[in-house]
């Protein structure tokens, strides 16, 4: 007689946390969590690492009714993001908070709405369109370097990077013609985001809601007004016919009825949020790591000298789109930095129905926290995991298993739409900055990581820059 296939579960054993979670995996008890609150607030990454170290690859937090698990095994992460992606939605507290700002933009929407929006936006990220990104990235890097002291000195590369990446996103996605309204839009986005971050300081299972509703409503109203101004100006200029930027594409989608007008606002806001701080963070951490690892920086400098002839003072030239394929070391410096400091340090999903992760059944409604930060530090996949070694990504690159576990841009259908955009941008900004300068730790600078929406240095990052 055949019956339904039994759901495989881990061998039943008595778990100390059995009363506090239906998931058959070890994990902290309520008193551990209470004791950990200050640590979660101060250093969520260290908390994650300690939880993983103590309880293993699948950790069940003590949440009996709405289970939460930390996922650190590559197989379970793949199951959630790729193989059974339909079984895991983005209806999580993390994305719920974000959607207060982004509405149903690409990052936070689901199902048919998401599919339509992805289809509408995809052409703007086509490799052909990325040459504009290349051009704007180099121009932004030149402005950033122009602000550096001529003879060398200490600069906040984080502040410079934030400004540069903002310019690139604004100009390539919305066009330079709306730059001024675009800047107001960005300011409004950042204000609203700050309120949201205040509400969900950490995506770890200790939500700390502070009802800043009124401030959020105000910020969202300002956001709506500036998004409206960006659209109105472009409409007034009648430039939506043949411009290839995202704004033009989305306006055409609205005109043809493929996108509801409110969808336009949501996507503009989403792109600012998803495409600004993430790339700035990647750049900042790459510069930080290169400043500490002079040998790795030397290899990048060698490549830049060979391809571009070095800085202007040595008769060199700025990089272009066509140089990208000749800059594998520069790109690898970024990719290895995204391994150690993935800006999106956790990805959250919610089980639509019961699922099985590495042999352990998790009920419908379970929130899974997939941590690229921990996945990228698995020693069997990334030997000497804490070491910054861009060579891992050069030539043959990562092996098959390590590649599957390397997820700074996510994986599966919800893979970052801006991945190539980001890699082109970060590689060329880095190339333009480092062809004429070297970076070194600033005397007395203490770098502290702050993991909020993205992983960033708290209070900026000062480095010493020297012309070379
Ligand atoms: C180094 C820079 C970047 C990193 C590390 C990054 C990371 C990610 C990750 C991890 C996801 C998936 C989230 C999840 O599965 O829960 C994602 C999605 C997304 N990213 Fe990025 N991103 C970067 C740059 C960009 C840029 C430059 C843009 C746009 C200009 C962008 C736009 C988006 C959008 C719209 C989504 C949602 C895609 C969808 O669900 O269809 N990102 N990003």
The alpha carbon of 137 and the centre of ligand 1 are apart by a number of angstroms equal to 18
Q: Is 136 in the pocket of ligand 1 (CB under 6 A)?
A: no
Cβ neighbourhood burial of 247 (10 Å; 0-12, 13-18, 19+)? buried
Distance of alpha carbon 304 from alpha carbon 330, whole angstroms: 8
Quote the tokens at residue 25. Answer: 């995996």
CA of 282 to the centre of ligand 1 (A): 12
Instruction: Provide the Cα torsion 221, 226, 229, 234; round to 10°.
Output: -140
Residue 108: other Cβ atoms inside 10 A: 24
Average pLDDT over residues 377-396: 95
- Protein residue with least CA distance to atom 37, ligand 1: 107
Of 39-48, 143-152, 325-334, which range is least confident? 39-48
**Ligand 1 close to Cβ of residue 362 (< 6 A):** no
Structure tokens belonging to residue 121: 């936006």
CB 342 within 8 A of CB 166: no
Per-residue pLDDT of 151-178, as tens digits, reads 999 999 999 999 899 889 888 888 766 6
The residue among 146 and 210 whose pLDDT is bigger is: 146
Mutate to test the pocket of ligand 1, among 337, 418, 429 (most ligand atoms within 8 A of CB): 418
Q: Residue 231: what pLDDT?
A: 87
Atom of ligand 1 nearest to the CA of 109: 40
At a CB cut-off of 8 Å and minimum separation 6, what does 19 contact? 64
Q: What is the pTM of this model?
A: 0.92
Residue 374 binned pLDDT confidence (cut-offs 50, 70, 90) = very high
- The predicted pLDDT at position 397 comes to 86
Residue ID of nearest Cα to ligand 1 atom 15: 410
pLDDT digits (tens, 9 = 90+) for 328-370: 999 999 999 999 999 999 999 999 999 999 999 999 999 999 9
Q: What is the pLDDT of residues 239-266, one digit of tens each?
A: 544 567 888 888 888 888 888 888 888 9
Give, in order, the Cα–Cα distances in Å from 267 to each of 3, 33, 128. Answer: 47, 37, 21
Higher pLDDT residue, 445 or 409? 409
HSE toward the beta carbon, residue 96, CA cutoff 13 A: 12
Instruction: Report how far ligand 1's centroid is from the alpha carbon of 342 (Å).
Output: 12
User: What is the DSSP track for 241-287?
Assistant: TT--SHHHHHHHHHHTTSS-HHHHHHHHHHHHHHHSHHHHHHHHHHH
Q: Using CA positions, which residue lies closest to atom 13 of ligand 1? A: 410
* Confidence check: pLDDT of 372 > 60: yes
pLDDT average, residue stretch 379-396: 95
E strand or H helix at 463: strand 462-467
- The per-residue pLDDT for range 259-315, each reduced to its tens digit, is 888 888 899 889 888 888 899 999 999 999 999 999 999 999 999 999 999 999 999
Q: What is the pLDDT of residue 126?
A: 86
Locate all alpha helices (DSSP H) within 64-178, ordered by sequence: 74-78, 93-102, 111-121, 130-146, 157-173
pLDDT (average), residues 34-38: 86
- What pLDDT is stored for residue 3 in this prediction? 47
**Closest ligand 1 atom to Cα of 95:** 16
422 lines ligand 1 (CB under 6 A): yes
Q: Residue 12: pLDDT above 60? A: no
Q: How confident is the model at residue 49 (pLDDT cuts 50, 70, 90)?
A: very high
CA 409 / ligand 1 centre spacing (Å): 6
Output the CA 27–ligand 1 centroid distance in Å: 30
pLDDT beyond 60 at 442: yes
Q: Is 9 exposed, middle or buried (0-12, 13-18, 19+ CB in 10 A)?
A: exposed
Ligand 1 atom 43: the closest Cα is on which residue?
A: 416
**Residue 9 pLDDT > 70:** no
By percentage, how much of the chain surpasses pLDDT 70? 92
The secondary structure of residue 204, as a DSSP letter, is S
Does residue 275's CB lie within 6 angstroms of at least one atom of ligand 1? yes
Q: Which two tokens stand for residue 464?
A: 């010493």
Decide if pLDDT at 88 tops 90.
yes
| Ligand 1 centroid from CA 422, angstroms | 9
Check whether 119 has a pLDDT greater than 60. yes
pLDDT on residue 11: 47
Which residue from 197, 200, 191, 250 is spatially nearest to 224, judged by alpha carbons?
191
Number of the ligand 1 atom closest to the C-alpha atom of 414 = 40
Q: Is 271 in the pocket of ligand 1 (CB under 6 A)?
A: yes
Between 137 and 260, whose confidence is greater? 137
Ligand 1 centroid–CA 415 distance in Å is 7
Measured distance CA(69)–CA(92) in Å, rounded: 13
Distance (Å, whole) CA 363 – CA 23: 7
Which of 102, 167, 186, 274 is the pocket-test mutation for ligand 1 (most atoms within 8 Å of CB)? 274
Task: Locate the ligand 1 atom nearest the alpha carbon of residue 117 and give its number.
Answer: 41
Whole-number mean pLDDT of the chain?
88
Residue 2 confidence (pLDDT): 43
Question: pLDDT at position 26, please?
Answer: 95
Residue 106, ligand 1, Cβ within 6 A:
yes
118 Cβ inside 6 Å of ligand 1: yes
Closest CA to ligand 1's atom 7: 409
């Amino acid at each position: 007689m055949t019956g339904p296939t039994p759901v495989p579960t881990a061998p039943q054993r008595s778990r100390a946390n059995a009363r506090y979670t239906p998931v058959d995996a070890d994990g902290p008890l309520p008193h551990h969590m209470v004791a950990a609150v200050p640590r979660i607030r101060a250093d969520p990454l260290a908390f994650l690492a300690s939880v993983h170290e103590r309880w293993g690859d699948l950790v069940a937090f003590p949440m009996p009714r709405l289970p939460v698990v930390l996922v650190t095994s590559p197989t379970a992460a793949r199951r959630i993001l790729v193989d059974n992606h339909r079984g895991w939605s983005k209806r999580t507290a993390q994305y719920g908070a974000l959607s207060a700002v982004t509405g149903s933009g690409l990052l936070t929407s689901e199902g048919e709405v998401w599919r339509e929006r992805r289809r509408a936006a995809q052409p703007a990220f086509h490799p052909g369109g990325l040459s504009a990104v290349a051009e704007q990235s180099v121009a932004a890097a030149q402005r950033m370097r122009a602000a550096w002291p001529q003879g060398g000195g200490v600069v906040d590369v984080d502040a410079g990077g934030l400004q540069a990446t903002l310019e690139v996103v604004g100009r390539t996605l919305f066009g330079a013609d709306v730059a001024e309204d675009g800047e107001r839009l960005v300011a409004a986005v950042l204000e609203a985001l700050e309120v949201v971050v205040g509400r969900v300081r950490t995506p770890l299972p200790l939500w700390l809601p502070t009802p800043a509703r009124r401030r959020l409503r105000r910020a969202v109203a300002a956001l709506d007004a500036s998004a409206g101004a960006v659209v109105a100006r472009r409409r007034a200029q009648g430039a939506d016919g043949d411009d290839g930027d995202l704004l033009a594409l989305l306006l055409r989608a609205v005109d043809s009825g493929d996108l509801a007008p409110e969808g336009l606002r949501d996507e503009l806001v989403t792109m600012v949020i998803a495409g600004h701080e993430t790339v700035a963070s990647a750049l900042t951490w790459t510069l930080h790591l290169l400043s500490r690892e002079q040998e790795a920086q030397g290899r990048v400098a060698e490549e830049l000298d060979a391809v571009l002839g070095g800085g202007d003072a040595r008769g060199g030239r700025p990089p272009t789109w066509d140089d990208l394929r000749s800059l594998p070391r520069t790109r690898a410096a970024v990719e290895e930095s995204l391994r150690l400091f993935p800006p999106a340090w956790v990805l959250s999903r919610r089980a639509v129905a019961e699922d099985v992760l590495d042999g352990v059944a998790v009920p419908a409604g379970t929130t899974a926290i997939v941590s690229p930060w921990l996945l990228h530090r698995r020693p069997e996949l990334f030997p000497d995991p804490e070491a910054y070694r861009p060579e891992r990504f050069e030539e043959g690159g990562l092996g098959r298993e390590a590649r599957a576990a390397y997820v700074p841009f996510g994986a599966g259908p919800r893979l970052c739409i801006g991945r190539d955009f980001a890699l082109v941008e970060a590689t060329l900004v880095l190339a333009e900055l480092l062809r004429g300068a070297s970076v070194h730790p600033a005397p007395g600078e203490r770098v502290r990581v702050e993991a909020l929406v993205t992983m960033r240095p708290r209070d900026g990052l000062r480095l010493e820059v020297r012309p070379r």
